[in-house]
Amino acid sequence: MTSSSPDTLSTDITAAQVQATLVQRPVRHLIGGQLVNSAQTFSVIHPGTGAVCAPCVEATRADLDHAVASARAAQPAWGATPPAERRAALLQLAAVIRTHQDELTGLITLEQGKPLATARMEVGRAAMLVEQFVQMEIAPESLRDDATGRVEVHYRPLGVVGAITPWNMPLVLSVPKIAHALYAGNTVVLKPSPYTPLAILRLAEYARTLFPAGVLNVLAGGNALGQWISEHPGIDKISFTGSIATGRRVMASAAGNLKRLTLELGGNDPAIVLPDASIDTIAQALFDASFVNCGQVCMAIKRLYVHASLYEQACERLAQIARAVKVGDPFAPGTQMGPVQNRAQFDIVQSILADTWQQPGARVLAGGHALPGDGYFVEPTVVAGLAEGTRLVDEEPFGPVLPVIAYTDIDDAIARANRSPYGLGASVWGGDAVRASELALQLHAGTVWVNRHMGADPFAPFGGARQSGIGRQYGMAGLKGYMEGVTLFLPPRR
């Protein structure tokens, strides 16, 4: 498979072509600057067919120990490298991502199941995030400078960062952790999800010569490897993105040496549509923010509260859009939505749908079923007539299913939106942006949007409230999470 320029994408990428490349050049771990095989392998499944698409190397505990030792050995020199030089190396990483855009796009579609066009956007965004992150300046902060003396905060790297990433956006959720950690002067040991290890392992292969040996290490494996990373005494910080349940286990395992933590966990994001909103204007945006990536985005809309005066109109318009979506082979031209990524998540979505069909008053306006045939395909589903106390409203389905919930009193809607252990994102939609902004500040979430939902700014902190996470990613707050602040008291200037 040949690579194209950043502005073009081959239209004839096929699953067979991507698999042939993997046969010719199997993926390997990157440990200590070397590409490393393992005696053990596990199977990667293409969710469009449910069949094995490639084997992947599986790291042992000895492999992890080797990677951590390499990272620790490389960190002092890398941490002492001027930030401008670290920036230059990371900009080369962004260039490598763009150079191999077609290959990475095909790998993401094969292992994750998103359509080629969506995978291409993920690759492009990963490169863009690196380019933006390194524009931030790492410099001391002056807190006081007067006749009594000076107080400054200086920032230094933490050491070795263990990064554990999920399967819904394998590249765009891995690359920012690498960029933040390395730009701050740390070294990295990264574990991608065992469902989607291929693209990030291939990127590691291409990035091998960009950094000194041991600065970047990437190992594939399952839950055992994640546990070993979390508890490893040679790792100083864990940056984890995934479910709340796994986040709790990571936090417990990391307690052994009081590792620093950044946890971006699940969300059950509410969106509230006010009575002065225009459904015709916002329906497509609401749908896109709910069903993007087959609904498998932590910050997607999961609960849509619509004022009773607009309720039926909103339900019908969203159902119309859902019924028109082309679901199918993610490699096929024109496919708009691919499969749920893995069998376990597919079964969860199926279970929630089965429960929904049994709920009194539930109206399935579009979808509601899995598609026949191979693969983990579910129809885009819009459900009316539900309220809190049902699985679809209370849980995070992480699939293409949206409950639309009626309300009459805005204070009640806000209280219901806040009645959740989650707190990742939320949004308010209305004609009066000032009023919508006032209401937005009453929602208990780490990020709240007005007249939009989703989209993280590289320069703005992103993270969850309550059980949706600890710490922030992106922005200076995210970057500082990968550094230790040292408060320095100095005498006054002469």
The 8-class DSSP code of residue 280 comes to H
Tell me phi and psi for residue 485, to 5 degrees.
Answer: -85, 135
Task: Please list the alpha-helical segments (H only) found in 41-115.
Answer: 61-80, 83-99, 101-112
- Sort 212 into a burial class: Cβ within 10 Å, 0-12 / 13-18 / 19+: middle
- DSSP-derived 3-state class of residue 20: helix
Residue with tokens 């639309």: 404
- Is the Cβ–Cβ distance between 486 and 143 less than 8 Å? no
Residue 368 CB coordination number (10 Å): 18
Task: Please list the alpha-helical segments (H only) found in 335-381.
Answer: 343-357
Task: Please list the alpha-helical segments (H only) found in 113-150.
Answer: 116-133
- Is the Cβ–Cβ distance between 195 and 184 less than 8 Å? no
Name 411's Cβ contacts closer than 8 Å, sequence gap at least 6. none
Residue of 111, 264, 379, 396 marked active site: 264
Residue with tokens 């399967």: 167
- Is the Cβ–Cβ distance between 425 and 448 less than 8 Å? yes
Tell me phi and psi for residue 471, to 5 degrees.
Answer: 85, 180
Residue of 53, 294, 298, 315 marked active site: 298
Q: Is 362 left (phi over 0), alpha (psi -120 to 50) or beta?
A: beta
Beta strands in 214-361 (DSSP E): 216-218, 237-241, 260-264, 269-273, 301-307
Quick one: angle between helices 101-112 and 15-24, nearest 10?
A: 110
Q: Name the nearest CA neighbour of 211 among 221, 203, 219, 222.
A: 203
Assigned token pair, 473:
């990613």
Assigned token pair, 157:
């790297």
Look up residue 312 and give its amino acid: E
Q: Name the nearest CA neighbour of 262 among 283, 241, 289.
A: 241
CA-CA-CA-CA torsion sign (208, 210, 214, 215): negative
- Sort 357 into a burial class: Cβ within 10 Å, 0-12 / 13-18 / 19+: exposed
Beta strands in 110-166 (DSSP E): 141-146, 149-157, 160-164
**C-alpha to C-alpha distance for 161 and 218, rounded to whole angstroms:** 12
Please say if 298 is a catalytic residue.
yes
Give the chain's length. 494
Catalytic residue set: 264, 298
